[in-house]
Structure 1
Amino acid sequence: MNEKNPSVARIVFAYLVVYIVWGSTFFFIEKALRSFSPFVLGSIRFIIAGSLLMGYCGLKGYKIFNREDVKQAIFVGFLLLFIDMAAIIWSEQYISSGIVSILSAATAIWFIVFDKPKWKENFSSLPIILGLVLGFTGVIMLFAEQVFGQTDDGEKSQNLIAMGVLILGTIGWTIGSLTSKYSQKDKSEKRKEQPLNVIVKTAWQMVTAGVAFTTVALLNGEYKAFDYNAVYLADWGAIIYLVTFGSILAFSSYIWLLQVRPATEVSTYAYVNPIVALLLVHFFTDHQVTPLQIMGLVVVLFSVLLMNWNLYKNNRTIRALRYRKKLKRVKNMAPKSSIPRIIEVAEFSAKEKKKQAKEAKKENN
């Protein structure tokens, strides 16, 4: 998976998978819920995906077990792939997959709110504060759409509960992500054993989610009431899609892109996924995409852009463009034959390269 000079075609393909496939999973979850109850759906999806991914890691010869990493993967997998996905799947019984995808994109809000070590940095940044305010505004707009857009009080109440559950799920995702981030950083200096490959950790996370979904489905009677013969063929197709494309191909593409492209560039999938989900809802379901939902989407995505503004501003691509612009300006400061100009350009280039290397090292740490 590590490549120094990957082809443009592979990069484009990986981005298309992450952009479109991940965005479409919301739609296919909604479709599969016609035949599968929420926890049975999660159970089948993650047990199969986790087993296939673990089998792949075994065939590749990756080390499968490391007590410290497996313990961490189980905890993170429970929060990220069980709590959050359970909230998404359960909520899609009552609200449109388009609304679910928009609220999921608003997870960036909770990263700002719960990332305590970065409070000083985040809350001293005007773009981040504006993004936070806009993000909450977008979420309120979606709640308002459910309050004023429904005539039946029972349906209105159920939809609001589903949206509340979904918000709790995104908070679980955030806490799991931040826990993984900081615990990994704290343990990196004390680590004696070689860490497990990231795909192995992901396999453990999926297996953990599969076991958790299965346990709940057994305890709440969903598996007892489940009838394999009553499942529509198209819904089996949705499950297969979620396992192969949604859980394995899309995530593998995401991990590969993180290794060959800047993380801030890869994170742009968050802007595309809700758009894909909303388009699928509009063209292939009976749900109505309202103007307020579209406005909420625009507000939420713009808020995410603002909350990530400092990251985008300092990423390698933007720095490279700035460097070229400055270098061009310096080159035009004196005649081409000027020796002082040549020295100045050389010194400027060396200084900028040193600065970029230092910033890149800081990012990696």
Structure 2
Amino acid sequence: MAKSSNSVLVILAFFAIYVIWGSTYLLNKIAVLELEPFMLASCRFTTAGLCIFLLAKIMGIPLTITKKQLLNTIIAGILFLSFGNGVVVWALRYVDSGFAALEISSQPLIILLLMRVLQGKKIQPMSVIGVIFGIIGIYLLVSQKQVIAQEDSIIGMVMIFFCMLSWAYGSLFVAKADLPTNYFVNTGYQMFTAGLILALMSIGFGEKWSSPMVWSGEVQISMVLLVIFGSILAFTSFNYLLKAVSPEKVATSTYVNPIVALLLGWYFLDEQITLQSIMAAVILLTGVYFINTKKTLAIFERFKR
């Protein structure tokens, strides 16, 4: 009976990291068309952080951390969420949600190259093949006339690339940083502090804040889904799977997320899926497959969105 129960939990958890994470691109795209991007991201992560703190208190998990751990969670929150995610939300004003998901799927490539540049780690032959496939896939993706023709799309693509650099460096940083041992508490502090920093960014850029009461029904629903499912449930499911199944199985979300994002963007937002986009997706995800060695997976998958 216990084994059957665990099997159901594993299936539900995979559904969360496949579909829910893949859907966050659509939800952010819907919301950012109406709301200011940094305000949107700030509301999402601050609320999610507070919810995690509340759940931790209910479950009796201590929230006490050291000053060093607090500083490191702030740095990680900036790298992953304030810049790494907040600017992606901003870029979604200029690129399709499916396109953004495909570009971000090349994240393991960026991590691999940073490990080589900053740590001198040797790139394995299979990973070299993956890098070549990845570069070809990215070129096919960003060189499409339909994409370049969109207003300010190049700015959006470039900023997403810098977000990937921030996320990749953050992955290397947290691998050695002193952080809260409880992943739930760690996530809560990262999300809450990142949300506060995003609020400062929003004010600094002169964004106009609005009350959730005046948001459209679509945006209100999107925000609730982002907070509850995208920020709390999916991340908890992800950490559960890391203990319940092998990292290679968890890593399949790297390949499924962009496909889910492409299909949802096409169905709900009428985003165009071109033949070149399909070719780019196949080549790029093949490259990610070659790059995803166990060592890279352990770093990348632990800190995914």
TM-score by length of 2: 0.90
- Taking every aligned residue pair, what percent have the same amino acid on both sides? 28
Deviation of residue 120 (structure 1)?
Answer: 4.2
Q: Which residue of 2 aligns with 1:176?
A: 170
How far apart in 2 are the matches of 1:151 and 1:48?
36
Code of the aligned partner of 1:267: A
How far apart in 1 are the matches of 2:203 and 2:22?
30
C-alpha RMSD over aligned residues: 2.3
Q: Does 1:159 align with 2:156?
A: no
How far apart in 2 are the matches of 1:260 and 1:203?
22
Q: Which residue of 2 aligns with 1:56?
A: 55
Contact 2:32 2:90 in 1 (8 A): no
Contact 1:70 1:201 in 2 (8 A): no
Code of the aligned partner of 2:275: P
Equivalent of 2:286 in 293, 297, 302: 302
Please give the per-residue CA displacement for 1:174-207, whole angstroms capped at 9, x wherever unaligned: 00011101335xx9xxxxxxx5311100000000
Q: Which residue of 1 aligns with 2:136?
A: 137
Contact 1:35 1:230 in 2 (8 A): no
Shift in alpha-carbon separation, 1:5–1:198, aligned structure 2, 3 A: farther
Q: Which residue of 2 aligns with 1:343?
A: none
How far apart in 2 are the matches of 1:288 and 1:207?
35
How far apart in 1 are the matches of 2:251 and 2:127?
16
- The DSSP-based 3-state class of the residue aligned with 2:161 is helix
Deviation of residue 219 (structure 1)?
Answer: 2.3
TM-score by length of 1: 0.76
Q: Does 1:269 align with 2:253?
A: yes
- The DSSP-based 3-state class of the residue aligned with 1:180 is helix
Consecutive unaligned residues of structure 1, counting only runs of 5 or more, are: 188-194, 316-365
Code of the aligned partner of 1:201: N
Deviation of residue 30 (structure 1)?
Answer: 0.5
Superposition pairs of residues 1-16 of structure 1, within 5 angstroms:
7-16=6-15
Q: Greater relative contact order (Cα 8 A, min sep 6): structure 1 or 2?
A: 2
Superposition pairs of residues 93-132 of structure 1, within 5 angstroms:
93-116=93-116, 119-122=120-123, 125-132=124-131
How far apart in 1 are the matches of 2:211 and 2:45?
19
Q: Which residue of 2 aligns with 1:218?
A: 203
Contact 2:56 2:185 in 1 (8 A): yes
- The DSSP-based 3-state class of the residue aligned with 2:84 is helix
- The DSSP-based 3-state class of the residue aligned with 1:222 is coil
Deviation of residue 229 (structure 1)?
Answer: 5.5
Superposition pairs of residues 72-91 of structure 1, within 5 angstroms:
72-91=72-91
Q: Does 1:22 align with 2:27?
A: no
Superposition pairs of residues 246-265 of structure 1, within 5 angstroms:
246-265=230-249
Q: Which residue of 2 aligns with 1:290?
A: 274
Contact 2:106 2:288 in 1 (8 A): yes
- The DSSP-based 3-state class of the residue aligned with 2:64 is coil
How far apart in 2 are the matches of 1:201 and 1:71?
12
How far apart in 2 are the matches of 1:73 and 1:6?
34
- The DSSP-based 3-state class of the residue aligned with 2:85 is helix
Deviation of residue 212 (structure 1)?
Answer: 1.1
Code of the aligned partner of 1:100: A
Shift in alpha-carbon separation, 1:215–1:4, aligned structure 2, 3 A: farther
How far apart in 2 are the matches of 1:5 and 1:52?
30
Code of the aligned partner of 2:10: I
Code of the aligned partner of 1:301: L
How far apart in 2 are the matches of 1:277 and 1:182?
32
Q: Which residue of 1 aligns with 2:301?
A: none
Deviation of residue 24 (structure 1)?
Answer: 0.4
